[in-house]
């Protein structure tokens, strides 16, 4: 063995250096990132879409890049309605769907409040995310003098009956004509709850 080393000293040194380099590279190379399956849009999907199996695909992401509220299987998405459009490949999250997830990021104590508007056709002007001022008009201009009261300023629209789809995620009955859902803080929610029984509700778009 010593004789071979003496005759092939350069080769032995080269082998040792190669082994050392290999160990160093192995130690410096990070371990493969652990991934998890998450659900994403197969194609561009519009607001109001009721999701089916053909709308969802599986992608893999490293755990540290997984957004909060993502879906790791398609079961929880079936039959849900989109509250906002999604681009092809965009991940599904609870904040994209009609339901309590739309209150994500809202101040503590915020509530989703359904309102029945007097002018049903005006709902066509609304889309989720728009800010509106809610106005209550009382009186009938005959026996009673008409008066207007601002019930809430700059509340965001979460859902409108013009979107179609299922209402059960927000409301118990199926009579959704003229209804919208807004996000309201506790004070606004107290004024808005049952307001449609006191007069007619209208909205003003807020820039």
DSSP secondary structure letters along 36-82: EEEEEESS-B-TTPBP-GGGEEEEEEEGGGPPTTB-SSSGGGTT-BB
Task: Quickly tell me which residue has 């915020």 as its tokens.
Answer: 110
Two structure tokens written together for 200: 């007619």
Mean pLDDT of the chain, nearest integer: 79
Q: Is the pTM value of this prediction over 0.85?
A: no
Which two tokens mark 172? 């118990």
pLDDT at residue 173 is higher than 50: no
| Residue 47, pLDDT score | 80
Q: Using CA atoms, how far apart are residues 142 and 132, in angstroms rounded to an integer?
A: 29
pLDDT tens digit sequence for 137-154: 876 555 555 678 899 999
pLDDT at 6: 55
pLDDT reported for residue 30 = 59
d(CA 118, CA 197): 11
- Which DSSP helix (H) or strand (E) runs through 116? strand 111-116
Q: Is the pLDDT of residue 134 over 90?
A: yes
Q: What is the mean pLDDT of residues 62-82?
A: 86
Per-residue confidence (pLDDT) for residue 167, from 0 to 100: 47
94 dihedral zone (left: phi>0; alpha: psi -120 to 50; beta): alpha
> pLDDT above 90 covers what percent of the chain?
24
pLDDT, mean of residues 1-6: 52
């Amino acid at each position: 063995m010593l004789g071979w080393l003496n005759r092939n000293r350069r080769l032995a040194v080269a082998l040792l250096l190669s082994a050392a380099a290999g160990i160093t590279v192995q130690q410096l190379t990070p371990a493969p990132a652990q991934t998890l399956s998450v659900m994403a849009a197969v194609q561009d999907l519009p607001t109001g879409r009721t999701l089916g199996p053909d709308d969802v695909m599986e992608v893999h992401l490293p755990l540290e890049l997984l957004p909060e509220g993502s879906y790791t299987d398609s079961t929880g998405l079936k039959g849900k309605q989109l509250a906002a459009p999604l681009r092809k490949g965009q991940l599904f999250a609870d904040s994209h769907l009609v339901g309590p997830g739309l209150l994500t990021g809202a101040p503590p104590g915020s509530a989703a409040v359904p309102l029945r508007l007097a002018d049903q056709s005006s709902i066509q002007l609304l889309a989720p995310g728009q800010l509106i001022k809610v106005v209550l008009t009382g009186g009938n201009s005959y026996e009673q003098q008409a008066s207007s009261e601002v019930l809430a300023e700059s509340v965001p629209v979460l859902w409108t009956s013009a979107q179609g789809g299922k209402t059960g995620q927000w409301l118990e009955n199926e009579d959704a004509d003229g209804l919208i859902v807004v996000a309201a803080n506790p004070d606004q929610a107290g004024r808005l709850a049952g307001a449609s029984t006191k007069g007619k509700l209208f909205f003003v778009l807020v820039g």
